[in-house]
Structure 1
Amino acid sequence: MQSPKSLRNVQTQHGDSFSVDAENIFLHRSMLSTSSILGVDINGQDQASKSVWFPDDTTELTESTENIDPPILISEEKPEVAKLPEKRKANSLEDDPNAKKPKLDANGQKTKRPGFSDERYDETSYYFENGLRKVYPYFFTFTTFAKGRWVDEKILDVFVREFRAAPPEVYERSLEDGKLTVNYEKVPKDYKIKHNDLLANVVHRHEVPVTSQPIKVVYMDKDIVVVNKPASIPVHPCGRYRHNTVVFILAKEHNLKNLRTIHRLDRLTSGLLLFGRTAERARELELQIRTRQVQKEYVCRVEGRFPDGIVECNEKIDVVSYKIGVCKVSPKGKDCKTTFQRIGEVDNDSIVLCKPLTGRMHQIRVHLQFLGYPISNDPLYNHEVFGPLKGQGGDIGGISEEQLINNLITIHNAENWLGLEGEQVPTTEIKEAPSISSKDEEPIDIKDKPVISATRSESVNEAATQTCYEEPDRCFDLKKTTSDPNCSECKVNYRDPGTKDLIMYLHAWKYKGVGWEYQTELPDWACTSTIDYDLL
C-alpha cells in the first residue's frame, strides 16, 4: 500500500531580489530533507553558470527590485536540449525512449534573444484553482558547459559541491538513470569532466502558484507594452518561477512575445511595468531611467499615523547580503533620497505617496523602516528579527550583520515553511496583513479593451497582438500533468498560499518620462474615502 503524501506549506516567498529575498527564505530543501540552503556568493565570477542548472532558489540570479537599474534584455535562455514527454500526456520520462539528441553547439547556447522559442511556451499550461494560477508539472532540461575548475574532477563530486538544490543521492540516481548526461551520453558517477563537455540534466519542475488576477494592459502600441502587474507574479523566470511569470503569461495568453525588460518590480510589488517591443524604444526608455529622467510615484500602506507634510529621507542604503537580498541604512552605503507624504488613512494605517529620487535596492521599504513606519505587511522589513524597534532609526538590536542574516534564515524557516497540516507552527510573532476585500478573480478577456492612460497618441489597434489566446483551465485536469517516480515533489502536497503570502502593500502607481506618462488605478487596499486626491 502506498504511503500517503505528506502535506506541507506551499512555497511562495522567493525569487525577488538578486538571489533570494530574505522574505522568501522558505527552505524548501529542508522540507524535503535535502542539503544545505545557502548557495554560492552571487558576486563570484561563475554565478551565472551556477544558476543555470536547477531551480535552486539560493543560487539562481533572480528578479531585481523596482529600484535597480536593469539590463534591457530579459534573462538569457538556454536552448532546449532534449525532446521530452508532451505536456498533455500523464506519462513519465521513462516512457519516452526516443528523446531527441540535439546537435552540440556552443553557439546554440545564445539562440534567439531576448525571447523564448515556441517549444518553451508549450512546455506546459495553466489552470485556475482557489483563486490561484497554477502550472501543470513538466520536464525541463538544464544545460551548461564544463567550467575550467571542474576539469579532471568526478562529475558527482562537482554536483554535490556546486549544485545544492538536491542531496547527493539524487544526483547519483540521475546519473544511473541517464537523466544527467555528458554530451548527451550516459556516464558513470566517477566520470572525470573534460574541457568543453556539455552537461545536461533533466528535472521535473513544480512551479509555485501565483494570483489568478489578470495582468491588465494599460497601454500598447508597436513599440511598447505597459501593464499593471498583480502582486505575487515575478517579471521573468527566476528561481522556481518560469511559466508563472509576466513575460510567459503575456506571451502565452496575449501573443506578446520577445518583449524587452525596461525595468523590474519585486514579485510582491504590484503596479506599472514597461516592456519594449523594439530594441530602440527599450534602449531609449531604459536610458531615461538610468539617467533619472523618469519620475516614479508609488503608493504604500504603512503602520501608524504618518507625519503631516512632506517627509524626506536621505539615509544611505547598503546591501547587507546580495545572497539573500537584504539591505539596511548604513553610513557606508550609497546615497539615496525618497520623499513621502500621507494622503489617506485606513484603520490604524496610513496611505503614503512615495517618490524615490534615486534607485537603490528596496529603497522605499528600507527608508520607511528607518523612519519607523514600515509597510504594514512587509514580510521582511516589518519584522522583529531586526530588533525590538524593527530597524527604526537603524537600530537592529545590537547584533552583527552576519547574525541578522542567520536570524532571518532561522525565523523564516520556523514560521512559514515547515508546518504540517494541522500542527502548530513554531511562532516568532510576525505581522499579519490586515484583511482586505477581494474581488472575484477572472482571467483576461481578450474582448476587453485596454485602459489607456498616456500622453502618446498612437492607437492600440496599430498592434495586432492579442491573438492565439489560450485560456487557462478552470480546474485541474489530470490528463495534462506529468509525473516522475524519482521526483521528491511529486510525493508532497503543498498547502495553497494565502492572501498574506501573495501581496505586499506597495504599488508602482505612476511613471512619467520625456514625452510620456502612464498610471494605473489605485489598488483595493489603498482605496479609502479619506484619500486626499488634491495631493496626487
Structure 2
Amino acid sequence: MQFIITSEYSKMRLDLFLKEHFPELSRTHLQKLVKDGQVTVNEEKVTPHYFLKEGDEVEAVIEPVQDLRVVENPEVTIIKCDEEAPTPPNLPSGRGGKIVSPPLGGGVRRGQVCIIHEEPDFIVVNKPAGLVVHQGEGHKEPDTLANGLLARYPEIGKVGDDPVRPGIMHRLDADVSGVMVIARTQDMFDHLKKQFKTHEVEKEYVAVVEGKVSPPSGTIEFAIARKGARMVARPKHEEGKKAVTEYEMLSSDGKSSVLRIKIHTGRTHQIRVHLKAKGWPIVGDRLYNVKFKMKNVKLVEPGRLMLHASKLRFKDLKGVGREFEAKIPIEFNF
C-alpha cells in the first residue's frame, strides 16, 4: 500500500501516521514493521519516529494479522488454585513428546492454569510447563495461555499493546512454569509495563541444574548477546547486554543441585544462558543442555525444563507493594 503525504500529515511522526491508517494494529507492532523495513519512505528505510514531509512517498507492506481465537480448550483449563482440578488429557510438550506428571502444589495438574489471585485491575496465575503464553510466528494455534484467559476474562481483549498479547507485558518460555501477572485494565497494563521496563519488578525462580554448585551462592554478571537462534554469555569486555543473576544453592545430591535464583535484568533466556556459562546447565534444557544424560538425575518428570518462576513482586496502582508465589512443583523436591 502506498501513500503520498499531503500537507495535512506534514510533520507527523511516521508511527502515528501508520496508527491512524491501520487502527486495528498496535503501535508497537507498526514500529516493528518500520524497523524491519516493511515500511519505507521514499524507498529508504527510516525510524518509526521519522517526521513526515509533504510529498514523501510511504510504502507499507502489511499482511493481515491473524485473529486471536478465543476457544474453550481442555488443555487450557483455568481453575482457582484452591480448587481440586479434574485430570485433563496429556498436554503435548510442543516438541513431539507428551508431558505426564503428578499434580502440582494446590491440586493443579499439568496443562491447567491456576489462578493464584484476582482483582479488578489484574490477575496472577501459575502457568504450567508446556503451555505457550501467546500466539506468534512460531505458534499460531489457539492453545495458549492468552486464549484460555480470554475465555474467562474477555475484558482483557482490549488491554495491552498488541491484540495477540491481551493484558500481557511479560512472559515465560513455554517450557517454564510459574507465576505471571496479567492486566485487566489499560491503566494497570501501563503501570506494570513501566515497572518491568525499569527493572522495579522483582522475580525469583527455582531451578534444578547439573552438578554440584560451587561456590554455593554468588552473582553472575556475564553480558548476553545473540548468536543465531541462541543467546550466549560474553565476558564483560565483549559486546553484549548487561545481565545480572543472583543464585543460592538450596540442596544437592552431588549430581544435581536445586538453586534459588533472582534476576536483576530481563534478558532473553538469561537464567539458562548464565547457568550454562558457569557449567551448571538446567536439567531438561533441550536448547542449552543438549548433551546432558537425563539418567544421571533422579527426577519425577524428566521431560520438562526444570525452571520455575516462584515469586513475583510489583506495586499496584496505589503504590502498594504486592508479592505473589506459585508453589514449587513436587518434581523439584529431591
TM-score interval w.r.t. the shorter chain?
0.5 to 0.7
Distance 1:347 1:207 in 2: 30
The residue type paired with residue 517 of structure 1 is E
- Equivalent residue number for residue 248 of structure 1: 147
Q: 1:266 aligns with which of 170, 173, 195?
A: 173
- Equivalent residue number for residue 335 of structure 1: 242
Post-superposition shift, 1:520?
1.1
Post-superposition shift, 1:294?
1.3
Distance 1:437 1:524 in 2: 8
Asked if 1 retains the 8 angstrom alpha-carbon contact of 2:222 and 2:233, the reply is no
Q: Report 1:251-400 matches (<5 A).
A: 251-252=150-151, 257-258=156-157, 259-321=166-228, 324-330=229-235, 331-346=238-253, 348-384=255-291
Post-superposition shift, 1:109?
5.5
Q: Sort the Cα spacing of 1:276 and 1:130 in 2 relative to 1 into closer, same or farther, 3 A.
A: closer
- Equivalent residue number for residue 522 of structure 1: 328
- Equivalent residue number for residue 26 of structure 2: none
Structure with greater proportional strand content: 2
Q: Sort the Cα spacing of 1:209 and 1:526 in 2 relative to 1 into closer, same or farther, 3 A.
A: closer
- Equivalent residue number for residue 214 of structure 1: 112
SS at 2:191's partner residue? helix
Structure 1 unmatched ranges of 5 or more:
1-42, 48-105, 135-205, 385-429, 439-498, 529-536
The residue type paired with residue 432 of structure 1 is M
Q: Sort the Cα spacing of 1:240 and 1:361 in 2 relative to 1 into closer, same or farther, 3 A.
A: closer
- Equivalent residue number for residue 232 of structure 1: 130
Scaled by the length of structure 1, what TM-score is found? Answer: 0.41
Give the length in aligned residue pairs: 242
Post-superposition shift, 1:232?
1.0
Asked if 2 retains the 8 angstrom alpha-carbon contact of 1:512 and 1:518, the reply is yes
Q: 2:309 aligns with which of 508, 521, 524?
A: 508
Asked if 2 retains the 8 angstrom alpha-carbon contact of 1:312 and 1:338, the reply is yes
Q: Sort the Cα spacing of 1:325 and 1:207 in 2 relative to 1 into closer, same or farther, 3 A.
A: closer
1:436 paired with 2:299, answer yes
Q: Sort the Cα spacing of 1:328 and 1:315 in 2 relative to 1 into closer, same or farther, 3 A.
A: closer
Asked if 1 retains the 8 angstrom alpha-carbon contact of 2:75 and 2:112, the reply is no
The residue type paired with residue 234 of structure 2 is V
Post-superposition shift, 1:208?
7.5
The residue type paired with residue 301 of structure 1 is V
The residue type paired with residue 520 of structure 1 is A
**Which one has the largest radius of gyration?**
1
Distance 1:130 1:209 in 2: 16
Q: 1:132 aligns with which of 68, 90, 114?
A: 90
Distance 1:243 1:365 in 2: 27
What does the per-residue CA deviation read over 1:220-266, in whole Å, with 9 as the maximum and x for residues that have no partner? Answer: 11110110011111100122342211011223366675241021111
Asked if 2 retains the 8 angstrom alpha-carbon contact of 1:228 and 1:520, the reply is yes
Post-superposition shift, 1:346?
4.7
Asked if 1 retains the 8 angstrom alpha-carbon contact of 2:209 and 2:280, the reply is yes
Q: Sort the Cα spacing of 1:209 and 1:348 in 2 relative to 1 into closer, same or farther, 3 A.
A: closer
SS at 2:200's partner residue? coil
The residue type paired with residue 299 of structure 2 is I
Asked if 2 retains the 8 angstrom alpha-carbon contact of 1:314 and 1:336, the reply is yes
Distance 2:140 2:207 in 1: 25
Choose 326-335 or 286-295, whichever is displaced more.
326-335
Asked if 1 retains the 8 angstrom alpha-carbon contact of 2:231 and 2:273, the reply is no
The residue type paired with residue 264 of structure 1 is R
Q: Report 1:145-164 matches (<5 A).
A: none
RMSD: 3.5
Scaled by the length of structure 2, what TM-score is found? Answer: 0.63
Distance 1:510 1:109 in 2: 38
Asked if 1 retains the 8 angstrom alpha-carbon contact of 2:207 and 2:259, the reply is yes
Distance 2:112 2:75 in 1: 13
Distance 1:522 1:208 in 2: 25
The structure showing larger relative contact order (alpha-carbon pairs under 8 Å, at least 6 residues apart) is 1
Post-superposition shift, 1:339?
1.1
- Equivalent residue number for residue 396 of structure 1: none
Q: Sort the Cα spacing of 1:376 and 1:223 in 2 relative to 1 into closer, same or farther, 3 A.
A: same
Post-superposition shift, 1:278?
0.4
The residue type paired with residue 314 of structure 2 is G
Q: Sort the Cα spacing of 1:273 and 1:246 in 2 relative to 1 into closer, same or farther, 3 A.
A: same
Q: Sort the Cα spacing of 1:265 and 1:219 in 2 relative to 1 into closer, same or farther, 3 A.
A: same
What does the per-residue CA deviation read over 1:99-152, in whole Å, with 9 as the maximum and x for residues that have no partner? Answer: xxxxxxx999589xxx94xxx325x85479994247xxxxxxxxxxxxxxxxxx
Asked if 2 retains the 8 angstrom alpha-carbon contact of 1:300 and 1:505, the reply is yes
Structure 2 unmatched ranges of 5 or more:
1-34, 40-60, 77-86, 100-109, 158-165, 316-320
